[in-house]
């Protein structure tokens, strides 16, 4: 197998975005009254919205950019209740009944996508398959066996196996039967069409800025206010954060490649117990980027997960390592796409779905899916619509955002927040040791970036390929941490809570609601 590494992927974008059309829903133009305002146009928000409209509620979906282009548009698109080694932990720390709620909610999410795809004749490449968690270390074999046993206890279709369809040997694996994979944008863009109309709306380029959880609720946006009886906050990181979600979740970034390989398409979906873990699945496609038509299979290979912005290899090196892994195990003919994704993981590893805080009776949240948002987000949308229309959900207890789980989360809470505090202090020491003198930016080569100091202010400098230097404040407006440069994607990333900004300071994803201020050189 070749050890050649591509210097650059032909398409530096998500496969899901490259093979579907862009959307053109207009922005909010005036104030609006609806039954429910849904903040965020990803899988959580759109699932909640379609269920609410079918229950007779009028809905306004407010998306800051374009729907299904953010986290949902950058997924591996696995529909599975198998979320790594989680069920043994859930049973021991939450109890068997709560673990069973978690399992049933995620299994129901797979059935929800299947049902809608079949009933609505949505061609979204839905395909039933097996999901595996495997280990290549004999030291993890006991964990694999324990996980399979715990999953069976909560009625999941799990079994321990030592042989898989992978082209290399494993020391053990858990197999979940009757899981699925799909094309999330093909599915959700059709769902969006069903939502928009008859008194319900989808508004793009409309950023929610704040929520007043009164009765009724008031949603402040950059385009006007929306009044609603209930609000669903599905903005990846909550817009309204009075309950300290910034300290209860930590961001995590991973990388994906879509490659053509010479081998027979790999059947099944895979996730490893390694550190960092690897992920694999095959996607059978009918449309290539750039308007060319064709059929075939692409192998999706990813991994190299890390906390964004912290010390370690640059982003370009993480992509290189993903490709090296693919070439080690497969005959890679070409790399067609590459992209990254970021998720938030709660310290106890269970998403937050339900009432957003104790004082906001009519504001609900779905967040913290830890890399498993296709089932987690679908389940969250179903739970939230049930809470609004019925007042309850059979799966709500385990996901309750107001839960207290000190035994399940205290250690991780301390570790993750200590990392944030260390980054906050350490970066300021580094910035104080750097000095930006007149003309200092001339030392940057095209494509290079650095954080330096001008007076008392940390400044992010980037020199583009044309030789122009862009200077922005290096202080994240969310909570004052210093951003760091992402060399492959040419963005400024916050290591504390995961906000991302373009090289000229525009906010790409929250929790920050404002961009980095432009600085004069």
Peptide bond into 276 cis (omega under 30): yes
Residue 488 lies in a domain: yes
Provide the CB-side half-sphere exposure for 100 (13 A, CA): 8
- Alpha-carbon span 366 to 469, nearest angstrom: 39
Determine the structural domain holding residue 440 and report its residue range. 421-509
Averaged pLDDT score across all residues of the chain? 87
pLDDT at 437: 43
Residue 398 lies in a domain: no
Residue 465 lies in a domain: yes
Residue 489 lies in a domain: yes
User: CATH no. for residue 456?
Assistant: 2.102.10.10
Residue 469 lies in a domain: yes
Residue 431 lies in a domain: yes
Question: Quick one: pLDDT band at residue 426, thresholds 50, 70, 90?
Answer: low
pLDDT tens for residues 483-502?
888 877 788 888 887 788 88
Question: Quick one: pLDDT band at residue 242, thresholds 50, 70, 90?
Answer: confident
Number of other residues whose CB lies within 10 A of the CB of residue 487: 14
pLDDT tens for residues 311-356?
678 888 889 999 999 999 999 999 999 998 889 999 999 999 999 9
pLDDT tens for residues 166-192?
999 999 999 999 999 999 999 999 999
Residue 286 lies in a domain: no
What's the predicted TM-score (pTM) here? 0.85
Higher pLDDT, 89 or 407: 89
pLDDT tens for residues 139-164?
999 999 999 999 999 999 999 999 99
Q: What angle do CA 313, 461, 6 make, to 5 degrees?
A: 40
pLDDT at 438: 38
**CA neighbor of 257 nearest in space, from 316, 182, 312, 181:** 316
* 465 phi and psi angles, rounded to 5 deg: -65, -20
pLDDT at 488: 72
7-21, 55-69, 240-254, 277-291: lowest mean pLDDT where?
A: 277-291
Residue 238 predicted with pLDDT over 90? no
Question: Quick one: pLDDT band at residue 405, thresholds 50, 70, 90?
Answer: low
Question: Quick one: pLDDT band at residue 424, thresholds 50, 70, 90?
Answer: very low
The number of folded domains in the chain is 1
- Alpha-carbon span 324 to 326, nearest angstrom: 5
18-22, 203-207, 304-308, 370-374: lowest mean pLDDT where?
A: 304-308
Residue 7 lies in a domain: no
């Amino acid at each position: 197998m070749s050890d050649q590494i591509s210097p650059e992927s032909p398409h530096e974008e998500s496969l899901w975005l490259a093979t579907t059309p862009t959307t053109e829903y207009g922005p909010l133009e005036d104030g609006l009254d609806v039954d429910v305002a849904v903040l965020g146009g990803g899988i959580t928000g759109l699932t909640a919205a379609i269920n609410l409209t079918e229950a007779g509620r009028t809905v306004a979906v407010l998306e800051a950019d374009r729907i299904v282009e953010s986290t949902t548009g950058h997924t591996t698109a696995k529909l599975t209740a198998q979320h790594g080694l989680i069920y043994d932990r859930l049973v021991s720390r939450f109890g068997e009944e709560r673990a069973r709620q978690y399992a049933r909610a995620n299994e129901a999410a797979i059935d929800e996508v299947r049902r809608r795809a079949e009933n609505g004749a949505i061609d979204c490449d839905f395909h039933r398959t097996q999901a595996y968690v495997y280990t290549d270390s004999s030291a993890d074999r006991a964990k694999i066996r324990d996980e399979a046993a715990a999953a069976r206890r909560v009625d999941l279709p799990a079994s321990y196996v030592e042989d898989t369809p992978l082209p290399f040997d494993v020391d053990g694996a858990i197999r979940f039967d009757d899981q699925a994979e799909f094309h999330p944008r093909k599915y959700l863009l059709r769902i969006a069409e069903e939502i928009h109309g008859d008194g319900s709306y989808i508004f793009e380029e409309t950023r929610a800025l704040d929520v007043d959880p009164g009765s009724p609720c008031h949603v402040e946006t950059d385009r006007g206010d929306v009044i609603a009886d209930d609000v669903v906050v599905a903005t990846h990181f909550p817009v309204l954060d009075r309950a300290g979600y910034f300290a209860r979740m930590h961001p995590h970034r991973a990388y994906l490649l879509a490659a053509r390989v010479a081998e027979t398409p790999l059947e099944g979906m895979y996730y490893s117990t390694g550190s960092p873990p690897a992920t694999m699945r095959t996607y059978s496609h009918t449309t290539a980027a750039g308007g060319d038509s064709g059929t075939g299979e692409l192998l999706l290979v990813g991994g190299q997960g890390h906390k964004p912005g912290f010390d370690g290899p640059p982003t370009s090196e993480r992509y290189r390592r993903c490709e090296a892994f693919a070439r080690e195990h497969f005959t890679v003919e070409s790399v067609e796409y590459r992209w990254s994704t970021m998720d938030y993981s709660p310290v106890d590893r269970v998403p937050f779905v339900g009432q957003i805080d104790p004082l906001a009776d009519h504001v609900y949240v779905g967040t913290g899916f830890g890399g498993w948002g296709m089932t987690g987000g679908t389940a969250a949308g179903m739970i939230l619509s049930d809470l609004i229309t019925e007042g309850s959900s059979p799966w709500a207890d385990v996901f309750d955002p107001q839960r207290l789980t000190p035994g399940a989360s205290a250690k991780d809470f301390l570790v993750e927040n200590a990392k944030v505090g260390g980054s906050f202090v350490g970066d300021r020491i580094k910035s104080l040791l750097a000095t930006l003198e007149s003309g200092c930016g001339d030392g940057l080569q095209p494509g290079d970036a650095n954080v330096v100091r001008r007076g008392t202010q940390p400044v992010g400098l980037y020199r583009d390929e044309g030789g122009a230097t862009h200077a922005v404040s290096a202080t994240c407006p969310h909570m004052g941490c210093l951003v760091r440069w992402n060399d492959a994607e040419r963005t400024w990333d916050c290591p504390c809570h995961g906000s991302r900004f373009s090289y000229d300071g525009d906010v790409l994803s929250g929790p920050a609601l404002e961009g980095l201020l432009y600085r004069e050189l």
